[in-house]
Chain A
Amino acid sequence: MPAPFQTPPSKPANASTGLLGEGYNTDAQMAQTTPGGPPQEYIPPEQRDDPRLPRSVQAIYLKPLKRRAQYGVPTCDLQLRSYNVRNVEFFADFALRAAYYLHLPAAGPIPLPRITERWTVPRSNFIFKKSQENFERITLRRLIQIQDGHSETVEIWLAFLRKHAYYGVGMKANVWQHEKLGRCCALSPMVPMLKSILGVGKTMDVSLENLKQAMEPKWAHFGRRKTLETSERAFEMMKSEAFQRTGIPLPSSA
Chain B
Amino acid sequence: MSQFRAKKLDLSCFINVRVLRDHTKRKVFEQYETERQALRYIIRNTTLPGRARAQAQLQLSQMHCYTRSTQINNRCIEGGKSRGVFKDFRMARYPFRMNALEGNIPGVKKASW
Contact = CB atoms under 8 A, between A and B. Distances in A.
Interface in A213-253: 226, 229-234, 236-238, 242-243, 246-249
B93 to A, nearest CB: 4
B15 to A, nearest CB: 20
Interface size bucket, B side?
20 to 34
Given A133-B97, A134-B112, A83 B38 contact: no
A5 B35 CA distance: 70
A137 B108 contact: yes
A230 B37 CA distance: 6
B108 A237 contact: no
A46 interface: no
A247 B97 contact: no
**4 closest pairs, A vs B, by CB?**
A83-B107, A136-B111, A234-B38, A233-B38
B37 A125 contact: no
A212 B107 CA distance: 33
Contact of A233 (B37, B48, B112): B37
B64 interface: no
Interface string B41-55: 110000011011011
Interface string B82-110: 00001010000110110010000111111
B77 to A, nearest CB: 16
Residue among B37, B49, B106 having the largest count of chain A Cβ atoms under 10 Å: B37
Contacts of A243: 42, 52, 55-56
Interface of A: 83-84, 117-119, 121-125, 133-139, 168, 226, 229-234, 236-238, 242-243, 246-249
A238 B42 contact: yes
A135 B110 contact: yes
Interface of B: 33-35, 37-39, 41-42, 48-49, 51-52, 54-56, 86, 88, 93-94, 96-97, 100, 105-112
A248 B34 CA distance: 20
B41 A168 contact: no
Given A135-B108, A226-B33, A247-B51, A122 B93 contact: yes
A134 B51 contact: no
Contacts of B41: 230-231, 234
B94 A230 contact: no
Contacts of A134: 110-112
Contacts of B54: 246
Contact of B107 (A123, A139, A247): A139
A234 B34 CA distance: 9
A121 B96 contact: yes
Contacts of B112: 134
A232 B38 CA distance: 8
B55 A242 contact: yes
Nearest to B110: A135
A65 to B, nearest CB: 32
